[in-house]
């Protein structure tokens, strides 16, 4: 089953491998739970994939995440049932890293505000001298994994940025290799001109950026969330922007997607918004669809999946 539409290349791979492919009539968990009972594999994008769905899928052997973050999938429940959860970790890092660089430049050059001012005839805005150069500035990366590392490389190469990173789980040798200085979250927030978030959503990272953290930042600094909405406190971000604790922000992700009409970000001029589409470039959707299809085919043909995310849990429940 495919819960939300994917690029046709992924569908073709599954058909060519001899599988029947069905599309859920709606990504609502209650609908998927009703329609999934006969399926051996499923490809999930951002829709919630709950314990209820898993309990209604007695034949299910693999859940393939079209993308990286598996926080929308009940991985624990899947593992209890011996179901592999796989993802496409190498498919989207490049696209998300490029979008991060685009955000850094758009914030520094105030593209959103300058475009709006020019359209309303406010040409004098140019005399405010309010934009800034990125070259030589300090970038703070929270989570120096695949995406964070690529952002570091691009910003060092293109803008000679000094890069600080907070990531307690990576080797210092990896940071050295990247020419990045590992530091505490507090120091990163205090010193960076641009802070960018690239951690997975976990119990540890949920709300890791709140009022106390935003207050550590420079009033001239910007913060970008490319990871998951709940990692920062959205209301604290709006307060920080409205009260001038920081200069601006950008996000590709929201606590609730899509955001409701009265979401405070929608009324705040100082935050640049995109609809969780940084990994949905023409090239990236093909890589993710093919990668997810590959993961399904590997498990259903008895091969070891290339990118399993729940091996530890499958072992814990005695399933492998």
Binding site for ligand NAD (CB under 6 A): 67-69, 89, 92-93, 96, 142-148, 166-170, 198-202, 204-205, 226-228, 252-253, 276, 278-279
Burial class (CB in 10 A: 0-12, 13-18, 19+), 23: middle
**Smallest separation (angstroms) from ligand NAD to the CB of 71:** 7
Closer residue to ligand NAD in complex, CB, 113/278: 278
Closer residue to ligand NAD in complex, CB, 143/295: 143
- 228 belongs to the catalytic site: yes
Q: Are strands 248-251 and 222-225 parallel, antiparallel or unpaired?
A: parallel
SS3 of 259, please? coil
186-216 exposure pattern, b = at least 16 Cβ within 10 A, e = fewer: eebbebbbbbbbbbebeeebeebbeeebbeb
DSSP string, 185-233: HHHHHHH-SEEEE-----TTTTT-BSHHHHHHS-TT-EEEE-S-GGGB-
Q: Are strands 181-182 and 162-166 parallel, antiparallel or unpaired?
A: parallel
**Smallest separation (angstroms) from ligand NAD to the CB of 164:** 13
**Smallest separation (angstroms) from ligand NAD to the CB of 271:** 15
Q: Distances from the Cα of 185 to the Cαs of 58, 205, 207, in angstroms?
A: 44, 12, 13
Q: Which residue is nearest to ligand NAD (CB)?
A: 145
**Smallest separation (angstroms) from ligand NAD to the CB of 318:** 26
Of 177, 257, 269, 283, the active-site residue reads 257
Of 66, 228, 234, 287, the active-site residue reads 228
Closer residue to ligand NAD in complex, CB, 108/201: 201
Rounded to whole angstroms, the Cα distance separating 23 from 34 reads 13
Closer residue to ligand NAD in complex, CB, 183/278: 278
Catalytic residues, which ones? 228, 257, 276
């Amino acid at each position: 089953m495919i819960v939300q539409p994917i690029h046709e290349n992924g569908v073709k791979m599954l058909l060519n491998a001899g599988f029947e492919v069905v599309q859920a009539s709606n990504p609502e968990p209650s609908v998927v739970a009703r329609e999934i009972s006969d399926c051996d594999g499923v490809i999930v994008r951002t829709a919630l994939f709950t314990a209820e769905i898993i309990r209604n899928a007695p034949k299910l052997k693999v859940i393939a995440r079209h993308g990286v973050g598996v926080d929308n999938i009940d991985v624990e429940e899947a593992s209890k049932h011996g179901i592999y959860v796989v993802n496409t970790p190498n498919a989207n890092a490049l696209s998300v890293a490029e979008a991060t660089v685009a955000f850094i430049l758009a914030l520094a050059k105030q593209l959103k505000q300058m475009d709006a001012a020019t359209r309303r005839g406010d040409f004098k805005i140019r005399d405010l001298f309010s934009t800034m150069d990125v070259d030589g500035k300090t970038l703070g990366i929270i989570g120096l994994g695949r995406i964070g590392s690529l952002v570091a490389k691009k910003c060092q190469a293109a803008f000679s940025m000094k890069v600080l990173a907070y990531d307690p789980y990576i080797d210092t040798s990896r940071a050295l290799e990247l020419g990045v200085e590992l530091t505490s979250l507090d120091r990163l927030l205090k010193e960076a001109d641009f802070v960018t978030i690239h951690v997975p959503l976990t119990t540890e990272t949920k709300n890791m950026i709140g009022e106390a953290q935003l207050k550590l930042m420079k009033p001239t600094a910007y913060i970008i969330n490319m990871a998951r909405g709940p990692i920062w406190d959205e209301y604290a971000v709006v307060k920080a922007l409205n009260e001038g604790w920081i200069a601006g922000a950008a996000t590709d992700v929201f606590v609730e997607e899509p955001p409701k009409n009265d979401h405070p970000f929608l009324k705040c001029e100082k935050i640049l918004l995109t609809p969780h589409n940084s990994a949905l470039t023409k090239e990236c959707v093909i890589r993710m669809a093919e990668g997810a299809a590959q993961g399904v085919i590997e498990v259903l043909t008895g091969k070891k999946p290339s990118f399993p995310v729940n091996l530890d849990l499958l072992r814990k429940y005695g399933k492998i």
